[in-house]
Amino acid sequence: MPFIEPSGRIAPFVCMTKKEALETVREIIQTDRAPAAIGPYSQAIKTNGLIFASGQIPIDPESGQFVEGGIREQTKQVLKNLAAVLEAAGSSLSRVVKTTVFLADMQEFGEMNEVYGEFFEEEPPPERQWRRPAYHATREWRSRQ
């Protein structure tokens, strides 16, 4: 098979050896300005210029308690926690590409969306997904606290 010269318009494929793939740097991100991970996971991992952040819940990192109030206060705390994790990784909310929001009650979407918009005013992420979590599991976890 003849060698094909790559076009200036088509990026060549980059192939890594197994050794190179294993040597890829994974930096675990940890900050006291967001709630500590409560399981076998990290607040975020930074690798190859990307940051993969774990989901956040409305816990005040100083008190370790859920914030008082409703969906507005909860959304604000979640986004403050996420911002703190991203800042610890050397990034910010302005560089977010995708978010996933879990709501137990879709009736609260409007209020949550208003607060969300305050944090992503200038450059909102191009993709945002909405999901309704297993509500009973959330209630059960809270009742154990």
The beta-carbon contacts of 48-54 under 8 Å, at least 24 apart in sequence, are 48/24, 51/86, 51/89, 51/91, 53/29, 53/82, 53/85, 53/86, 53/89, 54/85
Residue 79 pLDDT > 80, yes or no? yes
Per-residue pLDDT band at 52 (split at 50, 70, 90): very high
Q: Which residue type does 140 have?
A: E
CA 64 to chain centre: 20
> Span 23-47, mean pLDDT?
91
Q: Which residue has the tokens 């967001």?
A: 34
CA 83 to chain centre: 9
pLDDT at 23: 65
> Span 97-107, mean pLDDT?
88
What superfamily in CATH does domain 26-144 come from?
A: RutC-like (3.30.1330.40)
> Span 100-110, mean pLDDT?
89
Task: Flag the least confident range among 31-35, 64-68, 69-73, 125-129.
Answer: 125-129
Q: Is the whole-model pTM more than 0.75?
A: no
112-144 pLDDT per residue, tens? 999 999 998 777 776 566 666 544 444 444 443
pLDDT at 24: 72
Cα–Cα distance measured from residue 135 to residue 127, given in angstroms and rounded to the nearest whole number:
24
pLDDT at 123: 74
* Three-state DSSP state, 10: coil
Measure Cα distances from 85 to 31, 43, 60 in Å: 6, 7, 13
Instruction: State the Rg of the chain over Cα.
Output: 20
